[in-house]
Amino acid sequence: MSRTVPRDQLNLSLAVTSLMKGVVYRDTAETTWQHVIGLAAQVSDYVATLGLSVVVDEAEGYAFLRSRTDDELADLGIPRLVARHQLPLHTSLLLALLRKRLAEHDTSDAGSRLILTGEALRELLTPFFPVSTNEARAADQTDTAVRRVAELGFLRRMPGQDGEYEVRRVIKAFVDAQWLADFDAHLAEYVEIAREETR
């Protein structure tokens, strides 16, 4: 455990620039986490000038920046800082499947961290490929989706554990409970779209 950072040594620039680079996790960046938590009000005021808000979940141990809605930005007269991009189908699908798996994991007494092997991740997406799909092509598409989800910060490769990934709890903030509740209703639609895209 790192030492506690004294209040008079907290650094707003460190907190903001770390958040600008991505999600700050308590378990992997404990000192930076202390700067973010200790200066949460100042961070919030600072990023608000850029049309952003800070989301902090102390219970789960993560913090990140989120763009305000288009309507809020229009009211403020501020352009969107980061353009929105639509995720590829299999990446979106994997995110949804991981969120559902995390919800199931949380209802069991399996521990606080959800660790999955690369093979388990491939098995999650397998039902969404047509039976006739070339196995090598399906494996490539799955590996690409896993890599993208990891780059987005929702999966973390476990150090020293070849081919194992931790599902980061921040996924709960992006794939919300309402969306998850509707997931089963949209499942058949996803299957059909995925099969059309892989033909």
CATH of the domain at 54: 1.10.10
Clarify whether residues 71 and 98 are in a common domain: no
Clarify whether residues 183 and 93 are in a common domain: yes
User: Which residues 6+ apart lie within 8 Å of 130 measured at CB?
Assistant: 195, 198, 199
What domain range is 155 assigned to? 89-197
Clarify whether residues 34 and 68 are in a common domain: yes
Q: What is the pLDDT along the chain (199 residues), one digit of tens a residue?
A: 567 888 888 999 999 999 999 899 998 899 999 999 999 999 999 999 888 999 999 999 999 998 888 888 788 788 887 777 777 888 888 988 999 899 889 888 666 789 999 899 988 888 877 766 677 887 888 889 999 999 888 999 988 777 899 999 999 888 776 666 666 666 666 666 655 655 5
Predicted confidence at residue 19, as pLDDT, reads: 94
Predicted confidence at residue 44, as pLDDT, reads: 95
Answering whether pTM is above 0.85, one says no
Clarify whether residues 132 and 63 are in a common domain: no
Q: What is the CA radius of gyration of the chain?
A: 19
The dihedral over CA atoms of 156, 89, 60, 178, expressed in degrees to the nearest 10, equals: -170
Q: What are phi and psi of 164, to 5 degrees?
A: -110, 145
| 149 to 44, 61, 120, 121, 178: CA distances (angstroms) | 27, 19, 15, 11, 21
Clarify whether residues 151 and 179 are in a common domain: yes
Separation of alpha carbons 142 and 45, rounded Å: 40
Total Cβ atoms within 10 A of residue 153 = 16
What kind and span of H or E run contains 156? Answer: strand 155-157
Tokens standing for 83?
């353009």
The dihedral over CA atoms of 85, 154, 142, 83, expressed in degrees to the nearest 10, equals: 10
User: Is residue 1 one of the residues assigned to a domain?
Assistant: no
Predicted confidence at residue 1, as pLDDT, reads: 54
Clarify whether residues 186 and 100 are in a common domain: yes
Predicted confidence at residue 183, as pLDDT, reads: 66
Among 147, 166, 143, which residue's Cα sits nearest to residue 155?
A: 166
The number of domains in the chain is 2
User: Is residue 115 one of the residues assigned to a domain?
Assistant: yes
Predicted confidence at residue 186, as pLDDT, reads: 66
Predicted confidence at residue 120, as pLDDT, reads: 92
Predicted confidence at residue 155, as pLDDT, reads: 93
